[in-house]
Amino acid sequence: GFTTMKRIVLVTGGMGGLGESICTKMADQGYTVVTTYSPNNQKKDQWLAEMAAKGYKFSAQPVDVADYDSCVACIEAIKNTLGPIDVLVNNAGITRDMTFKKMTKNDWDAVMKTNLDSAFNMTKQVMDDMIEKGWGRIINVASVNGQKGAFGQTNYSAAKAGLHGFTKALALEVAKKGVTVNTISPGYIGTKMVTAIPQDILDEKIIPQIPQGRLGQPDEVAGLIIYLASNEAAFVTGANISINGGQHMY
């Protein structure tokens, strides 16, 4: 537990896959957890009810992470009800996979806005409060494919690599302010998105690339985020921590 007060963590895109594990594990650690959902998300009430049934009373705020003004309104609403954000997990992301030959400008823009612009849009709203308090954590969820590239993902790989450039530069600027900024780069994690891949593709194409011979668990990624958010991780900043079962090492 925390001696001073419950720290507030905001997890963007927390209602699916990896985000859900981040929310539940951080709640287990005693954080006050706020998540965001897309304004057009039809399942948010159902998700919140399911979580409440498991004992997790999460706050949820609508936001379009690709839209700056929407992010301003989102953080203002959270500050007015709960207070300033202590830990921001920039987790929201989408894919629009296809070869570069087939990729349209819209496919490129959608991924860039949701996966990269979103980090600026959200971080901008919380950084001043973190600096004022002398404590804060920004954790950017990238991908192994931002490190090594992936067929059909020029947009996604560019956005995820861009996230780490953002991490490094911002980490330098706030290094003396008690605020850390880090990237994590998960490999193939057993979320609904990944387990939806046909079993033969998983068995023949994906699992053989992973030296551990299995998909990662969402809880394993959540555990890394919990570490980075902790007081003990105060000396870790500007880092990109791979969590990919040995699939890509550098």
The catalytic site residues sit at 156
Other Cβ atoms closer than 10 A to 58: 19
Which amino acid makes up residue 161?
A
The CA distance from 131 to 14, in Å, is: 25
The CA distance from 244 to 76, in Å, is: 36
Residue 114 gets which letter from DSSP? Answer: I
Q: Strand locations in 84-237, DSSP E?
A: 87-90, 136-141, 179-186
Other Cβ atoms closer than 10 A to 26: 22
φ/ψ of 140, rounded to 5, equals -100, 125
Tokens representing 125 are: 């709203």
Residue 213 gets which letter from DSSP? Answer: S
